[in-house]
Amino acid sequence: MSNEKLLVVENLVVAYGSIEAVKGISFEVKRGELITILGANGAGKTTTLRTISGLIKPRSGSIRYKDIELTSLPAHKIVSLGITQSPEGRRVFGTLTVEENLILGAYTKQKPNMSILEWIYELFPRLKERRTQLAGTLSGGEQQMLAIGRALMGEPEMLLLDEPSLGLAPVLVKTIFETIKQIKQSGVTVLLVEQNAKAALKLADRGYVLEVGKIVMDGTSAELMASEKIQEAYLGKKKAN
């Protein structure tokens, strides 16, 4: 892991009308790290990722990726710089096949990289088996695999994952997190937004805790795992009286 800061977010404020969803947060991600942003529903996690991706414009603040300011760039430009996102709720194209969905992930490239496609099929053998099947007929877990695979087809240096375990059976959650680990080991930097704090912290190098649009804690995974506050709020452990 290098000390090079790949992404630097400073004083980011994002509002929907008069409601501030993100209230001046700052954090950084170094090349090769897996960083997790934890928080309850409505904490501002998805808004943060969508703002990095260029899908939402911030009210103020700065997002720099490799020293390029992203806040004024359109979403497709941000993808071509090397940031792709697997969105919350998967958003696969149900009337297209699995392989067509994957190929769409390479839309900023002149042509899809077939060796990346093969690598995705190695990561997710289920997708290879179902490559000619319509995406709408896949199970929730398979659609999640497809959403991650599609994001990887853009050959990202940095992958944004929004709630990859949401609504999945525990055995599938394990599979998805194993794969995220492999993606990190391949050299992709990962920013993971996740409600399953335990699974996320097991995997992450560092984490930030977001509560009602503000970062209230940050630290290494070990530090956060050991924190009483985190154990109570996210890991379901009761404080001893």
Please write the tens of the pLDDT for every residue from 170-182.
Answer: 888 899 999 999 9
What pLDDT score was predicted for residue 241?
Answer: 46
Residue closest to 70 by CA, chosen among 9, 21, 115, 18? 9
Q: What ranges do the domains of the chain cover?
A: 1-79+157-241, 83-155
Check the CA dihedral 139-145-148-149 and report its sign. Answer: negative
Summarised one tens digit per residue, pLDDT across range 191-231 is: 999 988 989 999 999 999 999 999 999 999 999 999 988 88
Phi, psi for residue 185 in degrees, rounded to 5: -65, -25
pLDDT digits (tens, 9 = 90+) for 156-169: 999 999 999 988 88
Domain 1-79+157-241 sits in CATH 3.40.630.30: no
| Cα atoms in the 13 Å half-sphere on the side-chain side of 168 | 26
